[in-house]
Amino acid sequence: MLSGFLIALREMASWNVVFGMALGMLIGYCLGSIPGLTSSIGIALVVPFTFTMSPVVSIVLLVTLYMATEYAGAIPAILVNTPGVPAAAVTALDGYPMRLRGEAGTALTMSILSAAFGSITSTLLLIVSATYMASFALAFGPSEYFGLAVLGLSLVSSLSGASMLKGFLSLFFGLAVGVIGIDPLDGVARYVFTDGLLSGVTFLPALIGLFALSGVFMMVEKSGAKVAPLRHLPSVSGQFGLMRPYLRVLMRSSLMGYLVSVIPGHGAVISAVVSYGVQKRLSDKPESFGKGNPEGLIAAETAANASVPGALAPMLSLGIPGSASTAILIGALMLHGVQPGPLLFAKNPEIPYSIFIALLVTMPFMVAVGLGGVRFWVKVTQVPRGVIAALVCAMCLLGSYASQNDIFAIWLTVFFGIVGYLMKKIDIEPAPVVLALVLGNLTESNFRRALVGSGGDLTVFLTHPISLVCLVLACGVLLLPLIRKTR
């Protein structure tokens, strides 16, 4: 582990890395402050511009952006009762009533200090658990990888939104899109009806379309809605002593946020909801929750931010995305020729350890920028939706072009943007499509490799214990929501 940190420190000793962190943090704050722009949209938008950077600078920038976006969503949630990111809706439950009581500065200070505590504690847990999980997964062969990929795909149940059936259709759509192009084993062309598809449906333009461009169309729908005005800007105190009475809440919420989000598909929202619920149950004044109880604000904000390192754990150690944002991070790493998974710690130790260092080092600066720049972030929340929609749309198309240097990439983005919008309108989540695009190839190639090795004997997946355990777990993950529903 120590050698990994040393390698990463050597790679990170450059102004480019510092610049990457600062840029990621600023972009993250801006995006998170704007309702409708989530961390997955932000990462998808920025990835094309990181091609010319080294993998370390690129991943440090993207992870910092991810972390900053998740925090900054709390600013408009507290000040104008409009969550910048979905998880901040839980923060708003007590944050906004605090602002109405004239305690906006205290609420903002508490939220950022809670975010910092949750993130740092969770990062320490990530460092210990991810390296252990990866060393365990080192002995995997094709059948184990197939089992792991199926387990990853089975997590569609937690990414499906309201309807599991629609989630599965979204997953199958993603798998269907993934088979277009050259077959991974025999090199045979499949469904290539235009030259642009010879190398398959490129991940990034599809992703930008599904998440960012579809989000633009959603914003155009709401472009007439008035932005809640905020005339009196609060000043924040930055008093660390404010948090002393809430140390137990901080510890409990950090742990809960991390553990919940390690389960792939259980991101910031579920972490915040679970932590808020538990804190309410344990509180002496449960009736004051939702009316401006600082415990509620701290529980939600700590857990939501602890979920960022938590979601990175399965991504780094097993190559399975823990959330939509980490699915995009996997895609970003693959574009740099880096494959997340058990071999990552052996082949590219600078990547996971740079992420660990970035998560720890950036946090104090994030606190400073968050506390010092409140007035600016508040102004960002007041930009009209129509302006944001148009500029984000232009960035989507330009970013898509930049990722391939080909206008065909723009067509892909437009196609997936319209498909993504239609999917969202009929309650079909686009996240399972990303899951399928990330894991489809891994599933197919390892399934076929394992069968080649066993001479076509399907029991190979049941005779290998790890593959068997993964397949049984996958069945459990799929069946559990159905059993719960029938009850």
Partner 1 sequence: MTTDSHEEPDADHVAPVIEISERKLDVVAGVTFFALAAWLWHGAADIDTTSSGGVGPAFFPRAIALLMAGGSLLLVLQGFVPKLFGIRPDKTIWVQRPGSVLAAMVIVIVYASMLGRLTYYPATALFLPCLLWAAGVRRPIIIAACTIGFLTFTKILFEIVLGTPLP
CB of 440 vs partner 1, minimal distance in Å: 8
Distance, in Å, from the CA atom of 48 to the CA atom of 404, rounded to the nearest integer, reads: 9
Check binding of 75 to partner 1 (CB under 8 A). Answer: no
Residue 393: alpha-carbon gap to chain centroid: 21
Check binding of 394 to partner 1 (CB under 8 A). Answer: yes
- Return the residue of 186, 195, 284, 287 that touches partner 1, per CB under 8 A: 186
Show the tokens assigned to 478.
Answer: 């799929």
364 φ, ψ to 5°? -60, -35
- Return the residue of 2, 13, 426, 483 that touches partner 1, per CB under 8 A: 426
CB of 134 vs partner 1, minimal distance in Å: 28
- Return the residue of 229, 241, 337, 456 that touches partner 1, per CB under 8 A: 456
Counting residues that bind partner 1 (by CB under 8 A) gives 62
Q: How many CB atoms lie within 10 A of CB 158?
A: 20
CB of 82 vs partner 1, minimal distance in Å: 9
Check binding of 376 to partner 1 (CB under 8 A). Answer: no
- Return the residue of 101, 248, 427, 482 that touches partner 1, per CB under 8 A: 427
Check binding of 26 to partner 1 (CB under 8 A). Answer: no
Show the tokens assigned to 378.
Answer: 């508040």
CB of 475 vs partner 1, minimal distance in Å: 15
Residue 147 · residue 468 · CB < 8 Å: yes
What angle is formed at CA 26 by the lines to CA 22 and CA 28, rounded to 5 degrees? 115
Check binding of 466 to partner 1 (CB under 8 A). Answer: no
Distance, in Å, from the CA atom of 95 to the CA atom of 86, rounded to the nearest integer, reads: 15
Minimum CB distance to partner 1 smaller for 365 or for 401: 401
Site string for partner 1, 48-67 (x = CB under 8 A): -x--x---------------
Minimum CB distance to partner 1 smaller for 128 or for 185: 185
Residue 8 burial class via C-beta count within 10 angstroms: exposed 0-12, middle 13-18, buried 19 and up: buried
**Residues 220 to 279: which contact partner 1 by CB under 8 A?**
220-225
Characterize 121-146 residue by residue with b for buried, 16 or more Cβ atoms within 10 angstroms of its Cβ, and e for exposed. Answer: bbbebbbebbbebbeebeebebbbbb
Residue 367 · residue 201 · CB < 8 Å: no
Check binding of 343 to partner 1 (CB under 8 A). Answer: no
- Return the residue of 59, 68, 126, 219 that touches partner 1, per CB under 8 A: 219
DSSP labels, 195-230: GGGTT-S-HHHHHIIIIIIHHHHHHHHTTTSPPPP-
Check binding of 139 to partner 1 (CB under 8 A). Answer: no
Residue 347's identity, in one-letter code, is K
Can you give the binding site for partner 1, defined by CB under 8 A? 49, 52, 165-166, 168-169, 172-173, 175-176, 179, 183, 185-186, 188-191, 213, 216-217, 219-225, 384-387, 389-391, 393-394, 397-398, 401-402, 405, 407, 410-411, 414, 417-418, 421, 425-428, 444, 447-452, 455-456
